[in-house]
Amino acid sequence: MSSILAPRVFPPMHRPGALAVRLLERNFILYKRIWIILFSGFFEPVFYLLSIGFGVGALIDEITLADGRAVSYAAFVAPAMLASSAMNGAVYESTLNVFFRLKWGKIYDGMLATPLGAMDVALGEITWSQIRGTMYSIAFVIVMLAFGLIETWWAILAVPVAVLIGFAFAGVGMACTTFMKGWQDFDLVQLVTQPLFLFSGTFFPITAYPIGLQRLAWLSPLYHGVELMRATTLGIFDLSIIGHLAFLIAMAALGMAVTRRRFEKLLKP
């Protein structure tokens, strides 16, 4: 009796995250058929700007900035709307869509049958959410420029700031999604994002709060994003920017670390 032993072929090794571009390619092909969805997220901050920035702003006096300058209420609210849009887009993309692909569609299981690893999937999904967020940010900055709400050419940095905000929230959002058991858990997402949207200095300075609430606002990731966004669009630069940047970078790093560990555990073959 003779037997033929076929050599076992191992897939080529690659650095974790190096194949994330393949997931981006998959998403680009998918959204070519439903491209209108990509534009839907742009209109939300524009509607808020028109209704609150200009509508309510007509009833409000100018806002005095930390450096003593006075700006219109619309110019004060617009960068906060951009930061909020970056947060909402990242959270929805990294929670609802990821939960379906992870728990119901089992799409990630199919991906891991290829040379893609858990880090490739996590990095690819977060990067995709940032691509969408970047498109919205560029379009919204153009709208702000058209309405005369840009005070300085430093506003060009608003786009990378929006990317950082989205990356921080996407990382944490995806990490939290891996712990969710059912669709009912998404009520908790609104329970967190809605207070952040309302009480992170988006519609008025946090100095209007009592000191205790001000300290709570300092713990809000969106507050740090709003302050960074206002710094770029209104030309307000001081040492506090370092703290805002450090907070969001640390949040993004923590979210990515937890997401990678959770994906490796949940998608283990």
Residue 250 lies in a domain: yes
**Domain span at residue 143?**
22-266
Contact by Cβ (8 Å): 149, 237: no
d(CA 78, CA 226): 10
> What's the pLDDT score for residue 244?
94
Question: In the Cβ-directed half-sphere of 247, how many Cα atoms lie within 13 Å?
Answer: 18
Q: What is the pLDDT of residue 189?
A: 86
SS3 114: coil
Distance CA 171, CA 184 (A): 21
Is 6 among the domain residues? no
Tell me the Cα Rg of the chain.
21
In a domain, 5, yes or no: no
pLDDT score of 252: 92
Cα angle for residues 102, 104, 108 (degrees, 5° grid): 35
- Residue 250 has what pLDDT? 95
Name the 3-class secondary structure at 17.
Answer: coil
How many other CB atoms sit within 10 Å of the CB of residue 187?
Answer: 8
Residue 1: the pLDDT is 46
Q: Note the pLDDT of residue 41.
A: 65
Both structure tokens of 234: 């209104």
Q: Which segments in the chain show pLDDT lower than 70? A: 1-18, 34-41, 268-269
In a domain, 9, yes or no: no
CA distance linking residue 25 with residue 54, whole number of Å: 40
| Position 17 in a domain | no
Output phi, psi for 125, to 5 deg: -65, -45
Query: What is the per-residue pLDDT for 15?
Result: 57
pLDDT score recorded for residue 34: 67
Q: Is there a domain that residue 173 lies in? A: yes
Alpha carbon distance, N-terminus to C-terminus of the chain: 35
Residue given tokens 């713990």 in the structure block: 219
User: What pLDDT, on a 0 to 100 scale, did the predictor assign at position 254?
Assistant: 93
> How many domains in the chain?
1
| Residue 98 domain-assigned (yes or no) | yes
Q: Which amino acid is at 252?
A: A
- Cβ(66)–Cβ(230) below 8 Å: no
